[in-house]
Amino acid sequence: MKKARVFLKKRSVMVLFSALLSALPYSVPSLFFLSWFSLVPFFLALTRDYNRFRSNLWLGFLFGFSYHLFTYWWFYTLYPMDFAGVSEGVSLLIVLLGWAGISLLHGCLYVLPGAAVYFAKKTRFAAFSAGAFALAFLGAEWITELGPLAFPWIRLSIGQFRAPILLQTASFWGVYGVDLLILAVNMLFALTILRKSRHRFIAGAMALCLFALNLGFGFIRFMSFDAFEAENTPVSVAAIQGNILSGEKWGDNSVARCMETYLDLSESSPDDTELIVWPETAIPTDLSRDYNRDVLRNISALSRKTGVPVLTGAFWTLEDRRANAAVLVTHSGVSAPYAKRHLVPFGEAVPYRGFFEAVFPFMTEINMLSEDLVPGSSPAVMETDKGALGCLICFESIFPSLARDSAAAGADAFAVVTNDSWYKDSPAVYQHLAHAALRSIENGRYTVRAANSGVSAIIDPRGSIRQELGPLQKGIVSGQIRMSEIRTGYTSAGDIVLPLYAGLVCLWGLVLLIRSRRRHGSN
């Protein structure tokens, strides 16, 4: 027993345990409560033996690498990548490189909390160390949003999406605010261990009060939802899930097969349907080309027959280059396309192409297209008779700023069109759905989500999943959404929490530095 206690107290073991606890809610959403204390062992490990800078950096990396490795285990579902036309050997190499590579790249960012605690601990003020840790952790999340390799998939708040009552403050301060709240509760619990006598109980009481206040705000927002429903225009929608997997979608005669599937399902949608939504590139061909006018004519004929506009993902040529886009098709014509603004690295465009062609040429084979797609540059809100739709295509729904731009541009509801068939029925499809739920909360908008093979869903502005159709099923998700013109605090102000908190921590550190110098000067 004594040996077990000694083993569990090892700093590396504490860090690995913390990484596992932090990653579990992403794969098992019912374990959402773990996020509120899972970082305590990581922080405590960093505060021990703080005179060893390299040791803290190593522990930070160990946490980050393990945290991502435990979360991204679903990468195996990409194997084999026959849909991309690569061999099983190359498929295995790409999957392992993707899993380990992203975990390694993003894991390096978590040396920031290790360094922050090392320097902050020198103040001998535990609360400041906790505050610096939280800032560095948020900074690591923020960096994953930057550049052409951006992949901000992991957020502490994502693990809470099956308990949306805990996420309602995102309407006020966005995803960084919720993550900061979770970090604050973690750090206060950690201080109950580090502090002595009555200070321990004060920190514990503050953690519980903070959690209770967040929960109370959630209850208030949930209870006020009936008033929101009564004030805003209802629209009956149908999200069509054809369940055509990637290998089939790009196979022989796929255009005709996809067309038949989506037309048949759409004609089976409820009689009161006012908007039909098809997923990302539902028909795998460039709809803007003259030779595909028959496809557009068929969709337009569907709209004429049902009296319902059809929003569909589609390839579309813009200025001689192809884009991943979405268009609204009616009996009278086609809207201007919305072009995907943030492309999937390697899947739709190869970043730093010269480097990867020289060092990892097989990585450039993931993109099934003959050339890189061109990104869009504007929200391009689509006007309908019932209100304006802001469209997000697949990967874009993990970027809070893109949804906010659409809401600020006048979108009364969101339509997310996606293809998650690469991930089959793994936790990845639900993690992606969780991001869409957060976008709804942040901007106070309903979201209709049409996924090629799931999860298709209708999400209300509280982030509650009203209806959903699970992965690898064929069918229709139908229900009502509400168009709304309200502006939440987040839509108006954006991601101000991180810079404000950074300023506060820096000011706090400056005050402590001045006090320390005065104390030493008086001596």
Task: State the SS3 of 21-54.
Answer: HHHHHHHCHHHHHHHHCCCHHHHHHHHCCCCCHH
CA-wise closest residue to 337 among 326, 329, 348: 326
Question: Other CB atoms closer than 10 Å to residue 311's CB: what's the count?
Answer: 26
State residue 156's pLDDT score.
97
Q: For residue 69, what are the CA distances in angstroms to 65, 104, 147, 406?
A: 6, 8, 22, 33
Least confident segment among 248-257, 353-362, 381-390: 353-362
Q: How much is the average pLDDT of 383-392? A: 94
Task: Give 296-312 pLDDT, tens digit per residue.
Answer: 999 999 999 999 999 99
What is d(CA 356, CA 345) in angstroms, rounded to the nearest whole number? 12
Q: What is the mean pLDDT of the chain?
A: 91
pLDDT tens-digit profile of 41-97?
999 999 986 568 999 999 999 999 999 999 999 999 888 877 666 778 878 888 898
* Residue extents of the structural domains in the chain: 2-224, 234-341+376-483
* Distance, CA of 200 to CA of 493 (rounded, Å): 36
Distance CA 458, CA 481 (A): 7
Report d(CA 80, CA 457) in Å as an integer. 28
pLDDT(197) > 80 = no
Closest to 420 measured CA to CA, from 385, 454, 450, 447: 454
More confident residue, 431 or 81: 431
Position 516 scores a pLDDT of 77
Whole-angstrom distance, CA of residue 396 vs CA of residue 439: 11
Average pLDDT over residues 497-520: 89
d(C-alpha 296, C-alpha 431), whole Å: 33
Following DSSP, what letter does each residue of 261-310 receive, concatenated?
HHHHHHHTS-TT--EEE--TTSSSSBTTSGGGHHHHHHHHHHHHHHT--E
Q: What is the mean pLDDT of residues 251-262?
A: 88
* pLDDT tops 80 at residue 195: no
490, 172 Cβ separation under 8 angstroms: yes
Q: Find the mean pLDDT for residues 272-291.
A: 91
pTM of the model: 0.94
Q: Please, which pLDDT band fits residue 489 given cuts at 50, 70 and 90?
A: very high
Higher-pLDDT residue of 133 and 95 is 133
Helix (H) or strand (E) holding 385: none
Q: Can you name the CATH fold of 234-341+376-483?
A: Nitrilase/N-carbamoyl-D-aminoacid amidohydrolase (3.60.110)
| CA 348/CA 101 separation, integer angstroms | 18
Kindly report which listed range (40-54, 331-345, 462-476) carries the lowest average pLDDT score.
Answer: 40-54
Give the pLDDT confidence score for residue 80 in this predicted structure. Answer: 81
Q: Which of 170-184, 246-260, 441-455, 469-483 has the lowest mean pLDDT?
A: 246-260
- Size of the chain in residues: 523
**Phi, psi (degrees; rounded to nearest 5) at 469:** -120, 120
Residue that is written with structure tokens 């793994």 in the block? 426
* Residue 347 confidence (pLDDT): 78
Question: Is the Cβ–Cβ distance between 56 and 117 less than 8 Å?
Answer: yes
Cβ contact 196:53 at 8 Å: no
Q: Kindly indicate the confidence band of residue 5, based on its pLDDT and cuts at 50, 70 and 90.
A: low
In the structure, what pLDDT confidence band is assigned to residue 404 with cuts at 50, 70 and 90? Answer: very high
292-295: long-range pairs with CB below 8 Å, 24+: 295/255, 295/259
Task: Give the integer Cα–Cα distance in Å for 256 and 260.
Answer: 6
Least confident of 18-32, 273-287, 289-303, 390-404: 289-303
**% residues pLDDT > 90 (the chain):** 73
Q: Is the pLDDT of residue 1 over 80?
A: no
Q: By mean pLDDT, which of 245-259, 293-307, 365-379, 492-506 is the weakest?
A: 365-379
Segment of 147-151, 200-204, 470-474 carrying the highest mean pLDDT: 470-474
Amino acid of residue 256? A
Secondary element (H or E) of residue 85: none
- Residue 174 CB: number of other CB atoms within 10 A? 29
349 or 503: which carries more pLDDT confidence? Answer: 503
Contact 166, 160 (CB under 8 A): yes
For residue 418, give every residue at least 6 positions away whose Cβ sits within 8 Å of its Cβ, in sequence order, or none: 279, 280, 393, 394, 397, 432, 449, 450, 451, 452
Percent of the chain with pLDDT over 70: 94
Predicted confidence (pLDDT) at residue 429 exceeds the cutoff of 80: yes
Give the pLDDT band of residue 148 (cuts 50, 70, 90). confident
pLDDT at residue 421 above 60?
Answer: yes
Does residue 249 have a pLDDT over 60? yes
Confidence of residue 520 (pLDDT cuts 50, 70, 90): low
User: Is pLDDT above 80 for 205?
Assistant: yes
Quick check: 292 pLDDT over 80?
A: no
Q: Tell me the average pLDDT across 98-116.
A: 95
User: Among 3-7, 190-194, 496-500, whose mean pLDDT is lowest?
Assistant: 3-7
pLDDT band (50, 70, 90) for residue 496: very high
Per-residue pLDDT at 51: 65
